[in-house]
Amino acid sequence: MLSTRLLWRTVGLAALLSTLLCIAGFVYAINQIMYPRKPAPLETAAPQEAVKPKESLASKEKIQIVALGDSLTAGTGDLTGRGYVGQAKEKLEKQLGKPVFILNNFAIPGFRTSDMLKDMESKRGIDTALADADVIMLTIGGNDLFAGGQGLFNGQSDESFDPSAAQERMPDALKRLEQIMDRIAKQNPNAVICYVGLYHPFLDIDTKREGSLLIQKWNTAAFEIANRYPNMVVVPTYDLFEVNLGKYLYTDHFHPNQDGYERIAERIAQVVK
């Protein structure tokens, strides 16, 4: 009898506890429906600093040009003294509708790639000017290959063109050109860098056109180097002189005249927009 009573009490207590548990669960569920909690905010990574786009030439109030190289950048052969740098400046002013200044022109006639490298190492002002430039223009390599005609003529009465000496000088000169272009690009990764390609000044006496292949080889190598940098371009000039050599060369049969420099300046203005 006692055991039966205890059994019923245990069953009743268990039933009561189950009922209370159900009631509590029901109340909790109603509370969540009527008064839902706001979810905890998700953790987010700290916002990264926005990458500023490179300022375009069109958005600048003024444009600064820095030029370096050999006699072509110095403007030898242009009796007005402007050369392709000065004429490009004038064309860019009209094209962009804003002031364009030649900040520095470090060109020295007769310079070879080795001379330019030494100059860039010894003159601190060159790196400073390059860093401040919006447009950088350069010519170099012609004196490495042609060397004032040294070794390019076979000594016969007709003075026929012999490119073998230039071919021998080319590999080392291209290595130095690579160093020059790399230094300029690293000094100012945002400027528009225009390397003016070579033309063949002795094309009219190169009956076999052997020098043409040499010049094209040089320009192709220069293009491959320039292609590594997003803001560097090789400005082609070979075709300008190929057909109109007599029209665009100065009387020294090597440098462009005023009209020849103007054609080069036009090409640069087409690139720098």
Is residue 20 one of the residues assigned to a domain?
Answer: yes
Same-domain check for residues 13 and 90: no
Same-domain check for residues 86 and 202: yes
Show the tokens assigned to 5.
């009573």
Query: Can you give the pLDDT at residue 138?
Result: 98
Show the tokens assigned to 263.
């054609």
Same-domain check for residues 90 and 7: no
Is residue 113 one of the residues assigned to a domain?
Answer: yes
Query: Can you give the pLDDT at residue 78?
Result: 97
Q: Of 219, 223, 224, 254, whose CA–CA distance to 239 is shortest?
A: 219
Is residue 45 one of the residues assigned to a domain?
Answer: no
Same-domain check for residues 77 and 174: yes
> Using CA atoms, how far apart are residues 80 and 82, in angstroms rounded to an integer?
6
Is residue 106 one of the residues assigned to a domain?
Answer: yes
Query: Can you give the pLDDT at residue 45?
Result: 37
Query: Can you give the pLDDT at residue 54?
Result: 57
Same-domain check for residues 135 and 69: yes
Same-domain check for residues 15 and 111: no
> Using CA atoms, how far apart are residues 79 and 248, in angstroms rounded to an integer?
13
Same-domain check for residues 114 and 14: no
> Using CA atoms, how far apart are residues 225 and 182, in angstroms rounded to an integer?
8
Query: Can you give the pLDDT at residue 4?
Result: 56
The count of domains in the chain is: 2
Query: Can you give the pLDDT at residue 126?
Result: 97
Widest pairwise Cα distance in the chain: 145
Q: Of 139, 238, 248, 230, whose CA–CA distance to 191 is shortest?
A: 230
| pLDDT by residue, tens only, the chain of 273 residues | 445 555 546 555 555 555 555 555 544 444 544 444 544 443 433 443 333 345 678 888 999 999 999 999 999 999 999 999 999 999 999 999 999 999 999 999 999 999 999 999 999 899 999 999 999 999 999 999 987 665 565 555 445 677 888 899 999 999 999 999 999 999 999 999 999 999 999 888 888 888 899 999 999 999 999 999 999 999 999 999 998 999 999 999 899 999 999 999 999 999 987
Q: Is the pTM of this model over 0.75?
A: yes
Same-domain check for residues 125 and 175: yes
Same-domain check for residues 150 and 211: yes
Same-domain check for residues 24 and 63: no
Same-domain check for residues 88 and 28: no
Is residue 46 one of the residues assigned to a domain?
Answer: no
Question: At which residue do the structure tokens 């958005």 appear?
Answer: 59
Query: Can you give the pLDDT at residue 128?
Result: 96
Is residue 48 one of the residues assigned to a domain?
Answer: no
Residue-range definition of the domain harbouring residue 84: 59-271
Is residue 234 one of the residues assigned to a domain?
Answer: yes
Same-domain check for residues 11 and 145: no
Is residue 54 one of the residues assigned to a domain?
Answer: no
